[in-house]
Amino acid sequence: MNILPLKTRIFREGEDLLDFIVEYLPSLQDGDVLAVTSKIVALAEGRTAELSDQVTKEMLIRSESEMALQTKYTWLTVKDGMVMASAGIDESNADGKLILLPVDSYATAEALRGRLMERFSLSRLGVLLTDSRTLPLRAGVIGVSVGHAGFRAVRNYIGKPDIFGRQMTMSRTDVVDSLAAAAVLEMGEGAEQIPLALIRDATVEFVDVVDRNELKIDLEDDMYLPLFGNIFRGS
């Protein structure tokens, strides 16, 4: 697998997202996966807010969240079935504003995929929108996907034998977040100005229609339920 990070100029709020992407894409081939930071998608959609005070920010976080809990450093929230800080609302690289997550990252990924496939005459293309998350008991952030199109998010090993013939009962690979983590490592978190990354020769299964619930696990079935289940149930 190869990742080509694409350094760009600064993307401005309200710009056309496809025009910006095409401006920096050297080319696209069948089987490519394009990673796009969700921040420029949100800017294209005008998903920003003025940072007037912390009370306003807290109200915005709560309105964007399904569940919200204040912690020592930030708000721990659930949005779109994912645990994240502050409902994904970010102040970094925002020029004094707050940048929210896109309205519907899956729909945007699918629309981008369709227009890029038509423009470059492709039959197989993946698109994923990236963001960053922290992991419990780990320093730093790691890239994740907030929406994707064109390929399966999960590789299922359940019912298949391991190298010694033992049948696996639980193992699945989170393909889309693995790709996002690799892409975001190259894209950076600071002033790199790399909102795009082209992933080539990745081992993915391409499909025309994705299941946006493929990655989701119900709270009651999650292995971390003993750690935060009662907290979120009462939030």
- CATH 3.30.1330.100 range(s) for the chain read 1-45+103-207
Tell me what pLDDT residue 5 has.
97
Tell me what pLDDT residue 105 has.
96
Q: Residue 150: left if φ>0, alpha if ψ -120 to 50, beta else—which one?
A: left
What's the token pair of residue 36? 């796009």
Tell me what pLDDT residue 139 has.
93
pTM of the model: 0.92
Amino acid at position 177, single letter: D
pLDDT in tens, 72-81: 888 988 888 8
pLDDT in tens, 31-70: 999 999 999 999 999 999 987 778 888 899 999 998 888 8
Q: Would you place residue 170 in the very low, low, confident or very high pLDDT band (cuts 50, 70, 90)? A: confident
Owner of token pair 């401005």: 12
Q: Which of 41, 48, 73, 44 is nearest to 145 (CA)?
A: 41
Q: Is the pLDDT of residue 171 over 80?
A: yes
Average pLDDT over residues 81-89: 90
Q: What separation in angstroms does the CA of 34 have from each of 50, 90, 180?
A: 30, 23, 10
Tell me what pLDDT residue 217 has.
84
pLDDT in tens, 181-224: 999 999 999 999 999 999 999 999 999 999 999 998 887 888 87
Q: Which of 132, 154, 135, 156 is nearest to 144 (CA)?
A: 132
What's the token pair of residue 132? 């960053």
**CATH number given to 1-45+103-207:** 3.30.1330.100
pLDDT in tens, 112-158: 999 999 999 999 999 999 999 988 889 999 999 999 999 999 998 88
Q: Would you place residue 177 in the very low, low, confident or very high pLDDT band (cuts 50, 70, 90)? A: very high
pLDDT in tens, 151-161: 999 998 888 99
Buried b (16+ CB within 10 A) or exposed e, 144-173: bbbbbbbbbbeeeeeeeeeeeeeeeeeeee
Tell me what pLDDT residue 225 has.
75
Tell me what pLDDT residue 36 has.
98
Q: Would you place residue 233 in the very low, low, confident or very high pLDDT band (cuts 50, 70, 90)? A: low
**DSSP string of the chain, one letter each residue:** -EEEEE------TT--HHHHHHHH-----TTEEEEEEHHHHHHHHT-EEE---HHHHHHHHHHH-SEEEE-SSSEEEEETTEEEEGGG-B-TTSTTEEEPPPS-HHHHHHHHHHHHHHHHT-S-EEEEEEEEEE-TT-SSEEEEEEEEESB-SEEE-TT-B-TTSPBPSS-EEEHHHHHHHHHHHHH-SSS----EEEEES----B-SS--TTTT---GGG-TTHHHHHHHHHT-
Q: Which of 40, 3, 39 is nearest to 23 (CA)?
A: 40
Tell me what pLDDT residue 232 has.
62
Average pLDDT over residues 83-88: 91
Tell me what pLDDT residue 56 has.
83
Of 32 and 165, more confident: 32
Q: Is the pLDDT of residue 235 over 80?
A: no
- Which residues contact residue 49 at a Cβ distance below 8 angstroms, ignoring those fewer than 6 apart? 56, 60, 89, 97, 98, 100
